Chain A
Amino acid sequence: MAAVVALGAMSLAACGGGDDDGGSESGGNVTMQFWHNATTGPGKAFWDKTVADFQTANPNVKIKIQQVQNEDLDGKLQTALNSGSAPDIFLQRGGGKMAAMVEAGQLKDITNDITAETKAAVGAALGTGQVDGKSYAVPVSILPGGFWYSKDLFKKAGVAAPPTTLEELSAAVTKLKANGTPIALGAKDAWPAAHWYYFFALRACNQASLDAAAKDKNFGDPCWTKAGNDLKAFADTKPFNDGFLTTSAQQGAGSSAGLVANYKASMELMGAWDPGVIASLTKDTKPLPDLGFFPFPAVPGGQGDPAAIMGGADGYSCSAQAPKECADFLNYIVTKDVQEGYYKAFNSLPISKEAQGAVTEDYLKAVLDAYNKAPYVSQWLDTIYGQNVGNALNIGVVNLLAGKGDVAGIIQGVNDAAKKG
């Protein structure tokens, strides 16, 4: 509560500054539009409460909430930004799309509005909201990837501990085959298949090569080929569900998350939003009771740190024309209480280190443990490298898994894609 009061005072001070780069008048009333994607349930309730609390602490601010369905959000946001009627505050997924918004001058530079408290709470993850060293978004949640598995099925198959090396993973796959599908994969959506390549690349390439590729979009380093070869060799052991090429990732009982939710498959490689998706697909729509998490195993011969982790961070941005109070709101949503509420509402890891103590689920603790031990965190490769390269990665990996293309095809496709962008 103290934080709220402090923030209130701060935003008043900001108003007193007579800053005219936004729509706010000195001491006057400010109305802001706020778009998020939680259309139902606890997520919606969380935002309603957060906004109400913020308004109470800042009586001169009125925030109008609009919930936009997740799949509709990107398109509607793009239209709104281009037509000059953008919402003041909105969900930001970062990466290449955020860079494009920055380039078009559609986002507010909030570098100087981020408070010391926010910096302390969020730490290095602030980088996920930055372009060229300037902040354009504040992350609220970390979503690292790894394996989500059924502890019961592992036990039944005689896999004692979660695999930590590729060899152990292969051994586990062999044992799990007796009880059905070892690994669920929804390759119809392509990105879940591409994640496999990303993780092999994370282990094959060191941080410098990953960064270099992000910069010059050249995938000539041999580690990219090694990643493809590793994936090919692993896929050849047939660990995935039958018909994985036409299986979707998150829709219905037949999807890859659905296979895990219904004990038809033992594990899935996915981001930290998966527990929620799996929970929505179990028979009683309750969380899977025996769900566990382990990070992507170490791969022999790779240059990458075996403890490095990959994941995204959802955040919030202010549009270019947003009033100064928008940044105050972003500072507010990463305060401890709000972040604990966020974790409870979305069952997802809060970005604030102070709030991470509230996490109780085993699997989220396992994620947090891996995250905090990681020497560096890479964003999803399709996010960093931009949509056109990400798209080419998706196509290349699907072709590889379908037996239509080869590893060289991935590299070639990625290099070609840069031309179209």
Chain B
Amino acid sequence: MTSDVADKSGRVRTGDGVTTPSPVRPRRRGIGWAQRLEIAALSGPAILVFVGFVIFPVLMAGYYGFYRWKGFGVPTDFVGLDNYKTILTDNSFHEAVWHNGQIVVLSLVLQGPIAIALALLLNKKMRGQSVIRVLIFVPYVIAEVIVGTAWALMLQTNGAVNDVLRSIGLGGLAQDWLANPKLAIWTLMFILTWKYIGFAVILFLAGMQNIPEELSEAAAVDGASFWQTQWHVTLPLLGPTIRIWGFLSIIGALQLFDLVYIIWGQYVASTAGTSTMATYMVLEGRNAANYGYGNAVAVVLFIISMTIALVYQRFVLRRDTEGALTGGR
């Protein structure tokens, strides 16, 4: 995905006035065996790893998904589409999909504006800028396990957050932040935002840095205020970056697993209303030892993510990718 971002910013850097030269295809010439060997030697290992650790497992998941399988020995009990029928009728799966949907929407709605606002502020020259950038970015660098464990401890009913509230006389606000089904999804969103906002800010800052300064200078000459400049110049030119961030955010939200698994555990996640398709998959596959069923869930999760990714590419990213994908040569 990073390469896409680079492509995008590359295009932005050329500005609107520069037209991409129409690609002139060189006459196709056969390549010598030395070159073939070089290509094979350089790309071979990567292709092998990709096939072995990405393509093969996906195919195997599709295969296991047709079996009732306890995970020991070779699957023999072929059940066709039964697993998929069960998924479609399982309430816990529907709940998980609903939670994933909430997380996708809330991530976009909460994190986007906050990240853009922070990036706008940090894009101005000011004292201690790099310190603030580091502070915002640090949570993104910390491993999910540590973030999850730390927040889980702080947010327990007898944890630090409630203790602080009580000690400053706001004991009435102390809550069961994790187990209360009305609160839990917001607790999760808070932690997710805290964790991932740094990534969005860095992305937007990079995008803003690629916007030519002349444009805002020109706007200033025309008498635009700071906010008018941002609204009419910076934001539109930030579009490609925002759309790519949206893509990453949606895919991340659909596949969310680790934070929920660590903070809520698999069982309480569903009662608290924070279970996701991925935690459902692990719960049904690994914990219940219904490996065939779990693989079918993995396939469904794959199809959902893939569909959304393709739709997003087709309709949202189209104008950004047109040049990058077709005029690449």
Contacts and interface: CB of A to CB of B under 8 A. Distances in A.
Given A100-B72, A246-B179, A387-B289, A395 B158 contact: no
Contact of A82 (B72, B265, B284): B72
Contacts of B181: 402, 404
B267 A420 contact: no
Given A81-B72, A100-B72, A104-B73, A190 B267 contact: yes
Most chain A CB atoms below 10 A, which of B83, B158, B271: B271
Interface in B143-186: 152-153, 156-158, 176, 178-179, 181
A402 B290 CA distance: 25
Interface string A378-408: 0000000011101110110011001011000
B290 A388 contact: yes
A402 B86 contact: no
B271 A103 contact: no
B72 A388 contact: no
Interface residues of A, number: 39
B72 A398 contact: no
B247 to A, nearest CB: 33
Contacts of A419: 86
A243 B176 contact: yes
Contact of A246 (B74, B178, B289): B178
B68 interface: yes
Given A387-B288, A399-B271, A402-B271, A188 B264 contact: yes
Contact of B158 (A242, A245, A398, A402): A242
A254 interface: yes
Contact of A243 (B70, B92, B178): B178
A87 to B, nearest CB: 15
Nearest to B73: A104
A188 B289 contact: no
B178 A420 contact: no
Nearest to A251: B149
Contact of B72 (A104, A248, A390): A104
A407 to B, nearest CB: 15
B271 A398 contact: yes
11 contacts: A101-B72, A243-B179, A246-B156, A246-B265, A388-B290, A395-B270, A398-B271, A405-B271, A420-B290, A421-B288, A421-B290
Interface of B: 68, 70-74, 83, 86, 92, 152-153, 156-158, 176, 178-179, 181, 263-268, 270-272, 283-284, 287-290, 293
Given A104-B74, A395-B92, 14 more contacts: A100-B289, A104-B70, A104-B73, A188-B267, A243-B176, A245-B271, A246-B263, A246-B264, A391-B283, A395-B283, A419-B86, A420-B86, A420-B288, A421-B288
